[in-house]
Amino acid sequence: MASLGKIARRTFLIGSAAIAGGVAFGVYAARQPFPNPNLDDLSEGSASFNPWVIVDNERVTLIAPHADKGQGVFSTQAALIAEELDIELDQVEVSFGMPDQAYFNTAITEAAAGFPMYDHSPTAERVRGFLGGVAKLAIPMMATGGSSAMPDVYTKLREAGATARETLKLAASEESGVPVADLRTERGAVILPDGTELPYTALAARAATLAPVTDVALRDPSQWRMLGQPMDRIDIVQKSTGTLPYGIDFRTDDMRFATVKVNPRQGGAMNGYDASAAEAMPGVERIIEITGGVAVVANNTWRAIQAANAIEFDWGAAPYPADQAAHWEHLAGIFDDEHLNAEARVEGDVEAAAGEEITGEYRSPYIAHAPLEPLNATILVTEDRVDIWTGHQVQQFVEQVVAEITGHEVDNVHLHNQFMGGSFGHRLEFDFIRQAAEIAHQMRGTPVQMTYSREEDFVHDFPRHITMGRGVAKVLDGQVNALDVQIAGQSVMRSQMGRMGLSLPGPDTQLHEGAWDAPMFNLPNFRVRSYLTEALAPVSSWRAVGAGPNVFIFESLLDEAIHAAGADPLEERIRLMGHDVSVGVLEAVGDMCSWNGANIGEGRGRGVAYGFSFGVAVATVVEVTNTDGGIKLDHVWVAADVGRVLDPVNLENLAQGGTVFGLGHAINCEITYADGMAEQTNYHAHEGMRIWQCPPIEFRALENNPKIRGFGEPPIPPSAPALGNAIFAATGQRIREMPFNKHIAFV
């Protein structure tokens, strides 16, 4: 891993000039493309060396602008700064800060383009060029998504800490007369050769007057004292004592509680309503018409929900097929040139290739995000300004969306981003923000907290897209000789961006993500084509987005082919893979579980699957037993390569949790439409995994990937096919449709 340090330093040398605000000091800030937003409100004697570090005479504040929906970036961002700043996490205050373009995500366009480094096909180059042009023209966007937080901040936050540290040392040198070279830093203080400690807080006033120290080199990871070691998350005590306020817990004087009802046929009209019964109910203060529905404002959330349930509505029809069967029929009919999204991967000639044919059709259903904290937002609109308290992944857009509704200048609209009780992609959406803003706009001067009932949260989710896959594999001489994969689905990106008023012309790479970029370079004949429709229910990014359904399709078909060839599922995958990092995770997971074939005894079986998403190679093995009571999950092993492990405990937690998430939804979750409405409205019908189904999950992290990657999403894709493949090994039954419990019982 010696090369990584060099890469990081090289990135720094280029990045120090290019990264917005990363070296923005004092008057120099004005010359940067994105000024340091902290300088606007800085009090006398305080120093802010860049958008991420503020020091005054009482405290050191670190700004961790990426949204935290449970993945732990609040802590990790702070640790990246603190590592170089030489301060401990119990000595600092950490804040999400306020949205600003200085915090724009430099990695998300890379993730959104989704091109593997090794892919130089004409199609890839064409789309890459196109998306690059869009990114250049677009407003730099502050956003948390696409597992991009760590690639975004890995260098720039360490630079922020290092530049602040060196400037504080310069201030100490001026104060003490000791040359900078003789100073060191530790625990939030500059230390003189005689042992005298000058706390950073005592140096703030002088540091604020200094020109920036820009020639700082980042430490080699071998010198790290904090990163790479197990860390206590800085939110862990609050989260274990009920004292961490989420958006839904925001309280202020004189606030009101509201809820909304809009057409459960997503996007359908409201023809009329009768709220006379609701108006008379206890605690109800106002019934307000909002876009597409009605809001109830009351003095208690429960009363608001009770009253909303008492309103009689006349809802219009859904702008998509009313019943689920028609959704599948539609998808089955788009495998044609007219609907071609992209011929994303072509190697050899799958049609001419020799071998015994294996064919399969696979289905991945709509699934709800259903974070445990129902969507909510608290907004106060006054004459001069608007304040918003909610958790959101696209912070500046929230302010813009609200400004459009209230008529304020966007500079006077302030999002106070909150910790989120999960998101899984739901908090990339804006309906709940618009609804809360429409309510607050009509309740000027009064803070109003709008909370969805769980039922509203379900029926008004924009679920994971449905996907149908068709595959033809050919096996020859005990090996897989060809894979021809066709994927038909919805364009998540067009659906989602359309609701933001943005368009995405050209192919949607998410439609084949996780299949076309499988780095199986030793597969001589390989084709992936995707087909796109926009005619179905509105959908959104669901944790892992396209790779979730596509890895299920791809790895299930591959497994069928390997079994038909009589090859070993792990060995054949390793043989097909011409990518060292991916071979590494497959070998690691085999080592972890002492792999000795898929068949491990009567009624028992193991399945392996590999997934490549967001730049991370992940291999998962699931072991099951077919019991009298159904399939029992006995054990899971996961190996992944994120390039650089910053917090091993949190990484393991994400690996285990992501695997539970992937397995649970594969077993028992789907959203189906009837009469245009989602039939599943609460957790009894869309349960996910319970603790009694959860097997032991062992995890190993590798660090061979040349680039650091995020891990919020990559554990998800291989978990479902690994389970399906294990069930086949144990029972001989191949399940080609999620959720699996439609086809087989589970314990």
Give me the residues that bind other proteins (CB under 8 A), please.
Answer: 69-72, 232-233, 235-246, 248-249, 251, 257, 282, 299-303, 305, 370-374, 419-422, 424, 451, 453-454, 649-650, 653-654, 656-661, 664, 682-684, 687-692, 694, 696-697
CB-wise, 27 or 649, nearer to other proteins? 649
Q: How far is the CB of 204 from other proteins (least distance, A)?
A: 28
The answer to whether the beta carbons of residues 738 and 665 sit under 8 Å apart is yes
> Residue 431 or 456: which CB sits closer to other proteins?
456
Minimum distance between the CB of residue 87 and other proteins, rounded to whole angstroms?
A: 21
**Complex with other proteins: residue 213 or 459, whichever CB lies closer:** 459
- Rounded to 10 degrees, the C-alpha dihedral 552/557/558/560 comes to 120
Closest distance of CB 225 from other proteins, Å? 19
Q: To 5 degrees, how large is the angle CA 238–CA 390–CA 388?
A: 125
Q: Output the CA torsion sign for 424, 426, 429, 433.
A: negative
Residue 24 is encoded by which pair of tokens? 């923005």
517/652 with CB nearer other proteins: 652
List phi, psi (to 5°) of 243: -105, 5
705: Cα separation from own chain's centroid: 20
What is the C-alpha to C-alpha distance for residues 436 and 402, in angstroms, rounded to an integer?
9
Q: Is 519 or 688 the residue whose CB approaches other proteins more closely?
A: 688
Q: Which CB atom, from 105 or from 680, has the smaller least distance to other proteins?
A: 680
Q: Which one-letter DSSP state was computed for residue 296?
A: E
Task: State the minimum distance, in angstroms, from the CB of residue 82 to other proteins.
Answer: 18
Count of other CB atoms within 10 angstroms of residue 241 = 8
CB nearer to other proteins: give 177 or 242. 242
Least distance (Å) between residue 12 CB and other proteins: 31
SS3 30: helix
In whole angstroms, give the CA distance from residue 251 to residue 617. Answer: 43
Residue closer to other proteins by CB (options 68, 83) is 68
Using only the alpha carbons of the chain, give its radius of gyration: 27
The least distance separating other proteins from the CB of residue 376, rounded to whole angstroms, comes to: 9
Q: Smallest distance from the beta carbon of 367 to other proteins, in angstroms?
A: 12
- CA-closest candidate to residue 454, choices 310, 322, 301, 672: 301
Q: Which residue's CB is nearer to other proteins, number 198 or number 368?
A: 368
Nearest distance from residue 70's CB to other proteins, in Å? 3
To the nearest whole angstrom, how small is the minimum distance from the Cβ of residue 252 to other proteins?
A: 10
Residues in Cβ contact with 336 at an 8 Å cutoff, skipping those fewer than 6 apart: 531
Residue type, 472: V
Query: Letter for the amino acid at 612?
Result: F
Q: How far is the CB of 171 from other proteins (least distance, A)?
A: 34
Beta carbons of 266 and 538 less than 8 angstroms apart: yes
Nearest CB to other proteins, comparing residues 45 and 696: 696
Maximum alpha-carbon separation in the chain: 81
- Cα–Cα distance for residue pair 502/3, rounded to 1 Å: 40
CB of 556 to other proteins, least distance (A): 22
168 dihedral zone (left: phi>0; alpha: psi -120 to 50; beta): alpha
Q: How far is the CB of 373 from other proteins (least distance, A)?
A: 5
CA distances to 142, 166, 449, 578 from 376, rounded to whole Å, are 21, 42, 7, 47
Tell me whether residue 204 or residue 420 sits nearer to other proteins (CB atom): 420
> Which residue lies nearer to other proteins by CB, 69 or 206?
69
Q: CA-CA distance, 248 to 257, in Å (whole number)?
A: 10
Would you give the DSSP letter of residue 615?
T
**What is the spatial distance between Cα 575 and Cα 572, in angstroms, rounded to a whole number?**
5
